[in-house]
Amino acid sequence: MNCKEKVAQALLTTEAVRLNVGTPFTFVSGIKSPIYCDNRKVIGFVHEREIIINEFIKKIEKMEDSGRGFDVIAGTSTAGIPWAAYISDKLKKPMAYIRGEKKAHGTGKQIEGADFNGKNILIIEDLISTGGSSIKAVDVAKENGAKDIFVLAIFSYEFEKAYTSFKNAETEWTSLSNFPSLLEVAKENSYITEEELNIAKKWNLDPSKY
């Protein structure tokens, strides 16, 4: 299996992905979906967790070999934090995490951990739907002097809106696995029927009409 398939299988095995065509889930953005991905669940499964960490490391090392280096591994609050911790430990790089909002007390910091000023930052996300929360993290990184920013997620729903958001933010991104790969692995392993597969594909093309 390739990276996308391995990660998709890990998400399905741990039931981080749930499918319910009859009763849709609701995202924070308000989107109704027949599929819900909660990658926070994976941290409780050692084998599958290790698969995803290894794929993160492979992806990052490949990028660094091609000249795209990173000074700091930053997790988004809260789901990206454990993954950033695993990765920074493996790569022996400084870590930080980015809060959704500034603290209302103390120093009012929005970034905890390593300094961003003049640094190349790799932001780790658990998943990307519309890209809204990721762009907020990118904006915070820029405000704190980040020189170069790249966003890497475990999973992406591959919405057109996410591509538009990142393009407007002039920020590059990618994910270890995505919605099409998840559906294929789910179908091959009888997690969903052919009818459910077609419904999910149709939803993904225009989630606003689901």
Distances (CA, A) of 55 to 48, 58, 164: 11, 5, 26
Please state the pTM of the whole predicted model: 0.93
Reported as a single tens digit per residue, the pLDDT across 73-121 is: 999 999 999 999 999 999 999 999 999 887 656 556 899 999 999 999 9
Q: Which domain holds residue 42?
A: 3-209
Q: Over the stretch 125-165, which tens digit does the pLDDT of each residue have?
A: 999 999 999 999 999 999 999 999 999 999 999 999 999 99
The CATH number for 80's domain is 3.40.50.2020
Per DSSP, the residues of 102-124 read --SSTT--SEEES--TT-EEEEE
Number of structural domains (the chain) is: 1
